[in-house]
Structure 1
Amino acid sequence: RWVISYNGELYNTDELAEDLRHQGFVARGSSDTEVLLEGIARWGIEKTLTRANGMFAFAAWDRSQRRLYLARDRLGIKPLYWAQAGGLFLFASDLGALSSHPSWRPTLNRDAIAAYLRFGYIPAPDTIWREAHKLRPGHFLVYGDGREPRSVPYWSLDEVQSAAQQERWRDPIAAVDALDELLRDAVGRQMVSDVPLGAFLSGGIDSSVVVALMQAQSARSVQTFSIGFNEQGYDEAQHAKAVARHLGTDHHELYIAPGHAVEVLPEVAGLYDEPFSDSSQIPTYLVSELARSRVTVALSGDGGDESFGGYGRYAVGQQLWSRVARVPGWLRGGLSSTMRLLDEPQWDRVGSLLPRSLRPAMLGMRVHRLARRIRSSTATEIYLSQLSQWHQPEQLVIGGREAPTIAADAALERRLPDMLDRMQYIDTLMYLPDDILTKVDRASMGVSLECRVPLLDHRVVEFAWRIPVAWRQRDGTGKWPLRQVLYRYVPRSLVDRPKMGFGVPIDHWLRSELKDWAWSLLSPGALERTGVIHAAPVIAAWNAHQSGEQDLHYRLWTILMLQDWLGRQSGYSA
């Protein structure tokens, strides 16, 4: 009756198989695909999904009912796309695969491009094509019966958050003990592999927790991998090496010269089926390539920031809003308008009149950024401003109107009164699946490496929401519970430092090694040929960045990745 096409991994296959055996199931092999399909046949789609623990995307066809089901894991670790074209229903785990069908004649989604210019990625359910859609994480889609496709949630962060309010932890020590035990189980389950296995290690909190718990459960040294850059402020390799030495892992590192990063850039950009401008796509690809030279599966520390409140922008956003909210609205509007009477270059010229010792760097950009945030009427607007690369993307896209997202949803203020909860909620539903997990999946799959993310075991995410806000951010730092677990395995001195992120010195490279390549894509002629972006604001940003007066590499990188992507496309309607 049932046929399945499946991509992913279940981490509770044994438990599911045992439950099925009690109902007469006799396995023909040891595949999690067989167990998943048997679960669907006996329990139905929704019940099977709620019982499954893993990362997956699948299509299941019910031959007797002539009904198709698509499903994606709770957090969106694995991608899944669908489209309707020429009277056909198409689906794939790779958006580019749709182009192999002769009926595929897509239309460029300029509204999605506007959203991309704000966030650096295209938020679900939209894609770069009007005819194609992302299946949202934690959803399954039903198609058949002559009806339109309908998407149904089987796991909801709203429900998780609501339930967590009734089940808050009251004893911080007990919570840390329970988290330690849960993380051990999550990591242990994802270490099961019949091929060589290792882990990414940056030396930060999240990857160090994962590696520490791997090593605690392994009889041999875990293979760990990190990369470094010679540019000051971007190199975490030394911290990773110190953690690896303490834990006793078999550590491998690679230092990346600017020339090497430039060489792999076309290959990295080509991995993405739609525009994507998180520049850490480069180091993620390079560390995946390094890991693949020795292992087939790697564990990653992604997901800790979203669940445990670790991003630096969370504290910054809260501080900003606490100050802005003290100023009456009418006064905020007047101040903001006054500050924007001069454009950014004019403010820079004002700053240049000050003595060198008092001259602030990038004054114009700072003044205009502050002006935008001052005029925010809600904390959610403040956070949207923090997330934005281009703040008025509709003014750049020819014929584009930015699609609404939950990041601008005023109703969030009522549903989630605490600002930290709101920021984590937005990031878990948008930034995590559409940026972080997209980046990791494309980079790792591009070198045939399977990447697993134990901090996104849904039980860990649900546990994290039960932790009171005051504990997530404690003693001036985020991820307090996760840190307490890590301190049981690694000394504080090795991991307590400001969060660096997995960045690359794009700002410098755009003025040096990448300058000629970038201008070939950003020149007025290049922008006119692709016909999507108004040239004037891009050229202004380019000139300001090249002068050194402003660091606008984030904005420029979004346009560069869009232009590069457009240059690789054919057979579409603009």
Structure 2
Amino acid sequence: MCGIAGIYHLETPKPVDPARVEAMCDAIAHRGPDGQGVWTAPGIALGHRRLSIIDVAGSPQPMASADGRAMLVFNGEIYNFQALRSELEAHGATFRTQGDSEVILAAWQRWGPSCVSRLHGMFAFAIYDLEARSLFLARDRLGVKPLYLAPLSDGSLAFGSELKALLAHPLLRREIDPLAVEDYLAWGYMPDSRAILKGVSKLPAGHTLLLRHGAPMPKPVQYWDVTFAERRKGRIADLEAELLHLMREAVTSRMVADVPLGAFLSGGVDSSSVVALMAEASSRPVRTCSIGFDVAALDETGYADEIARRFSTDHVSRRVSPDDFDAIDTLSAMFDEPFADASALPTWRVCQLARESVTVALSGDGADEAFAGYRRHVFQHGEDRVRSVLPQSLRGPVFGTAGRIWPKADWAPRPLRAKATFQSLAADSATGYARAICFTPPELRDTLYSDAFLRLRGEYRAEDAVIETMRGAPARSGLDRAQYADLKHWLPGDILTKVDRTSMAVSLEAREPLLDHRLIEFAASLPESMRVRSGQGKWLMKRTMRRMLPDDILYRPKQGFVTPIAQWLRGPLANTAREIATSATLGRTGWFDLRRLTALAEAHIAGRADHSRLLWQLLMLDRSLARLGIA
């Protein structure tokens, strides 16, 4: 795992000052503390920070091809590099190193841009072809590894693994995109389709970009997509066997490393499945780690301990106080862009714990998106059944009225929290789902904005992107479309961003076997009944893993990492909540109705309402803007 950065002149191949790329790489030194390098030629500079995982003593970067005609900087891991190496050697390729980086170079020279379709793994890389004077950029299928891009005023394009790298360039314009603020308020993260700064973009997951000096800036080219439009047939036993085979392959291929390797273990279905398959494939005890809390309602270490005992892992756990709010500024600095998923804090803590003994850790991320594991997927499946029997002309008035008059009762038992369900049922499937996954719903956002910001935003609504994705999805059902949208928006924007930044902040490589693209393609082809059945998501996966895991792990209610931000913002952070409305940073933007923010903070502190998610969201926005120099 590494960090990459570079500068490419799109028109005239002017000289590039290597000091600028060195500064960009220094800004992401945490991604690669084991080595660094910069290479320049007319019109191009490539920089690299290395975290040594494979071929520790060799494979320095930037790396030249065997014939010296191409240069590479690469962030990630190619899990099938050994098979590819054998295939390329059969075609006459020669290799000087034992790692996967040189295999990418040889694959590029043999197959050109189509080489990415042969790479199995997580990656973001840049290859400069000295003969063609072209720059090839690529990002993995699901977006596990990030790649930021920004055109600069001198006619060059800067790129890097994190926004930090671009911010180190003096020509980067630091102007906030107001539509990004709308996106952030809606989702709680910056979607891959936008960046917080105007002019900055991200290479989309599953896309490549080929640039040539003097040629117009092209659009990214998609090389992979997942389809939910096909349905796999077969006996349940056969589907179980195929799923187990794919999971085994995904896990074992990610256990190849020349440094200590372990796994995150929360005690949930996904991480427990990964650990079970690692233990099956390993002759030595698997190293596992978990984080617990000293508040019983938030602590899951008992389940993690159960799995650790079951598979005789070399397990370490640590309980931390949930009163970890002193780390807010550190957390904000990791993400550059505003990021409001409060589970980032315990994720960072478990990465710190893992890094004490390993350099690579496998995680269980991705199974919820692939196999319909979120509660919202079960709801979507049920709501679409209602939509199929009740026409919109009836649903709209009936459920729309019920949604307006039903109180918002976050404190009530789940069956009484019907407001969101009524509001969703009043709309079509795509609109209802987009609304259901909002961090801050549209009618609340509208009350937060100032008149000036409403004019800036115009007709744009953040939900429209998700609705458009769902309506255009290669899918058969509302559940299909919801999962497709999650893979395109939520997964790269929230889950993978969280894991990448928190793990790389401590120089730890996190690998996600359940995001193997072949496993994702298999899951997308399953009939709905193999994903959601009897109110349970991940039905086939849970059934498959019953041969290894106990029912109390497989079928207990999903919890995940929880951070007690509601209590923080009523207790030790109450003054911080009050100060949000008077923040010099937010106040100077002119985007918000500050009296409205004050009222929301006071209502939360007094216990009259729970506005913790919104207040946390605004707090993280405030800290991010301050770090970006918008103050």
TM-score by length of 1: 0.90
Query: Aligned ranges for residues 227-246 of structure 1 at < 5 Å?
Result: 227-246=291-310
Tell me which of 142, 149, 152 is aligned to 2:218: 149
> What SS does the aligned partner of 1:510 have?
helix
Q: Structure 2: which amino acid aligns with 1:245? A: R
Q: Distance in 2 between matches of 1:25 and 1:466?
A: 37
Kept in 2: contact 1:527–1:534 (CA 8 A): no
Query: What is the aligned partner in structure 2 of residue 391 from structure 1?
Result: 441
1:359-405 Cα deviation digits (max 9, x unpaired) = 97499x957545533532x0111111111122223554423343565
Query: What is the aligned partner in structure 2 of residue 354 from structure 1?
Result: none
**Unpaired stretches in structure 1, ≥5 consecutive residues:** 352-358
Tell me which of 504, 515, 520 is aligned to 2:563: 504
1:239-285 Cα deviation digits (max 9, x unpaired) = 111111111111111112133x1122221121002111111101100
Tell me which of 265, 283, 289 is aligned to 1:219: 283
C-alpha distance 234-334 of structure 1, shift in aligned 2 (>3 A): same
Answer yes or no: is 1:317 the counterpart of 2:380: yes
Q: Distance in 2 between matches of 1:534 and 1:339?
A: 29
Query: What is the aligned partner in structure 1 of residue 21 from structure 2?
Result: none
1:484-510 Cα deviation digits (max 9, x unpaired) = 232111222343201112221212222
- Which range is displaced more, 113-122 or 545-554? 545-554
C-alpha distance 175-361 of structure 1, shift in aligned 2 (>3 A): closer
> What SS does the aligned partner of 1:199 have?
strand
Answer yes or no: is 1:298 the counterpart of 2:364: no
Query: Aligned ranges for residues 166-565 of structure 1 at < 5 Å?
Result: 168-259=232-323, 261-323=324-386, 329-330=392-393, 332-335=395-398, 338=401, 361=412, 369=420, 372-376=423-427, 378-392=428-442, 393=445, 396-397=448-449, 398=453, 399-400=456-457, 401-403=460-462, 405-409=464-468, 412=471, 415-523=474-582, 527-565=586-624
Kept in 1: contact 2:470–2:482 (CA 8 A): no
C-alpha distance 276-487 of structure 1, shift in aligned 2 (>3 A): same
Q: Distance in 2 between matches of 1:360 and 1:32?
A: 52
Q: Distance in 2 between matches of 1:513 and 1:375?
A: 40
Kept in 2: contact 1:107–1:130 (CA 8 A): yes
Query: What is the aligned partner in structure 2 of residue 111 from structure 1?
Result: 179
> What SS does the aligned partner of 1:267 have?
helix
Q: Distance in 1 between matches of 2:606 and 2:417?
A: 16
Q: Structure 2: which amino acid aligns with 1:247? A: F
Query: What is the aligned partner in structure 2 of residue 31 from structure 1?
Result: 99
Q: Distance in 1 between matches of 2:600 and 2:384?
A: 28
> What SS does the aligned partner of 2:209 have?
strand
Q: Give how far 1:180 is off.
A: 1.1
Answer yes or no: is 1:67 the counterpart of 2:134: yes
C-alpha distance 25-330 of structure 1, shift in aligned 2 (>3 A): closer
Query: What is the aligned partner in structure 1 of residue 169 from structure 2?
Result: 101
Query: What is the aligned partner in structure 2 of residue 356 from structure 1?
Result: none
Off by >6 Å, runs of 4+ in structure 1? none
Query: What is the aligned partner in structure 2 of residue 76 from structure 1?
Result: 143
> What SS does the aligned partner of 1:55 have?
strand
Higher relative contact order, structure no. (Cα contacts within 8 Å, ≥ 6 residues apart): 1
C-alpha distance 92-405 of structure 1, shift in aligned 2 (>3 A): farther
Query: What is the aligned partner in structure 2 of residue 53 from structure 1?
Result: 120
> What SS does the aligned partner of 2:299 have?
coil
- Which range is displaced more, 125-134 or 406-415? 406-415
1:281-311 Cα deviation digits (max 9, x unpaired) = 0110000001111111100000000111111
- Which range is displaced more, 433-442 or 107-116? 107-116
Q: Distance in 1 between matches of 2:403 and 2:101?
A: 58
Q: Give how far 1:481 is off.
A: 1.9
Q: Give how far 1:68 is off.
A: 1.2
Kept in 1: contact 2:141–2:517 (CA 8 A): yes
Kept in 2: contact 1:55–1:78 (CA 8 A): yes
Answer yes or no: is 1:140 the counterpart of 2:204: no
> What SS does the aligned partner of 1:131 have?
coil
CA RMSD of superposed structures (Å): 2.5
Tell me which of 76, 80, 84 is aligned to 1:8: 76
Q: Distance in 1 between matches of 2:384 and 2:245?
A: 36
Kept in 1: contact 2:75–2:123 (CA 8 A): yes
Q: Distance in 1 between matches of 2:413 and 2:602?
A: 13
- Count of residue pairs the alignment pairs up: 551
Q: Give how far 1:545 is off.
A: 2.3
1:111-160 Cα deviation digits (max 9, x unpaired) = 01101111111212210011010111100012224211320011112xx3
Kept in 2: contact 1:127–1:133 (CA 8 A): yes
C-alpha distance 328-152 of structure 1, shift in aligned 2 (>3 A): closer
1:151-197 Cα deviation digits (max 9, x unpaired) = 0011112xx334x43xx131111111121122111111111111111
Kept in 2: contact 1:76–1:136 (CA 8 A): yes
- Which range is displaced more, 401-410 or 105-114? 401-410
Q: Give how far 1:442 is off.
A: 0.2
Q: Distance in 1 between matches of 2:71 and 2:487?
A: 32
1:3-22 Cα deviation digits (max 9, x unpaired) = 11111111011111001101
> What SS does the aligned partner of 2:73 have?
strand
Q: Give how far 1:52 is off.
A: 0.4
Q: Distance in 2 between matches of 1:454 and 1:341?
A: 43
Q: Give how far 1:535 is off.
A: 2.3
Kept in 2: contact 1:202–1:236 (CA 8 A): yes
Q: Structure 2: which amino acid aligns with 1:69? A: F
> What SS does the aligned partner of 1:161 have?
coil
Q: Distance in 1 between matches of 2:164 and 2:487?
A: 25
Q: Distance in 1 between matches of 2:585 and 2:175?
A: 21
Kept in 2: contact 1:310–1:479 (CA 8 A): yes
**Unpaired stretches in structure 2, ≥5 consecutive residues:** 1-68
TM-score by length of 2: 0.82
> What SS does the aligned partner of 2:204 have?
coil
Q: Distance in 2 between matches of 1:337 and 1:535?
A: 30
